[in-house]
Amino acid sequence: MSRTRDILDRHHVPTLRTFAQSRVLLAFDYDGTLSPIAPTPERARLPVPTKRLLIRVAKEYPLVVISGRALADISERVADIDVRQLFGNHGLEWSGATSRPRAQVRQWVDRLHEQLDGAPGVIIEDKAHSVSVHYRAAPDHNRALRHILPVVRALRGVRVICGAAAVNLLPDHGANKGVALRRALERSGCERALYVGDDETDEDAFAAVEPDKLLAIRIGPSDKSRARYHLESQESIDLLLRVLIEARDGD
């Protein structure tokens, strides 16, 4: 892996425009990508300017959102935007398909409450198909993580992915954001995809499609990501959306 490059740098904007002017599917993570990271999951909201830009983007491109949130949750947060397809629980749920809560996840949640209830600032988010253990409100993040990791790694059949002040638990043989992106691309009829995400849960998507068919963009520079490009910060998402709109306005 090499260090990511700023996709909005003048040397790399032509690459972005080339993708934008092709038959391309746009795919975005939600938390930390479209929406700023919030102190607690329920407080995350799309900024009004970003929402307005997404409404315009969705008129020019097929648009999908692939989130770690439960499908019902993410559906409410983008309800006014013409999103082609939604994926929740890191791709374990998707719009138009019926899914059942997993007994395995229920067992994890029970065990997590036994071991972690009372830990300062730790929140267990039961999403029926996956679990997120948040510790953003913990007074000492390192101490909270040292407490959480041995507990989650002792669970059976779990894939542990650390995110932004959260530990995500997925079934170890289940779907992921990479599987979701491939599914969305196949159904879209597009030749290429652009995917933007912000943490380790997005790495599966960054490597889901051949590099010539995928423009993978991470929020924040990194020398450990499978994405080739980055945005300097979450606040740069509006700049990216404007470039995408301008690329189609010029057709």
Catalytic residues: 29
Kindly list the distances between the CA atom of residue 110 and the CA atoms of 42, 68, 144, 158, 209, in Å, as whole numbers in the listed order: 22, 20, 19, 14, 37
C-alpha span between 78 and 136 (Å, rounded): 24
CB 204 within 8 A of CB 191: no
**CB count in 10 Å sphere of residue 132:** 23
Helices (H) then strands (E): counts for the chain: 8, 12
Rounded Cα–Cα distance for residues 133 and 233 (Å): 24
Name the E strands within the chain: 5-6, 24-28, 63-66, 85-88, 93-94, 123-126, 131-134, 158-162, 166-171, 192-197, 214-219, 229-231
Q: How many residues does the chain have?
A: 251
DSSP class of residue 127 equals: -
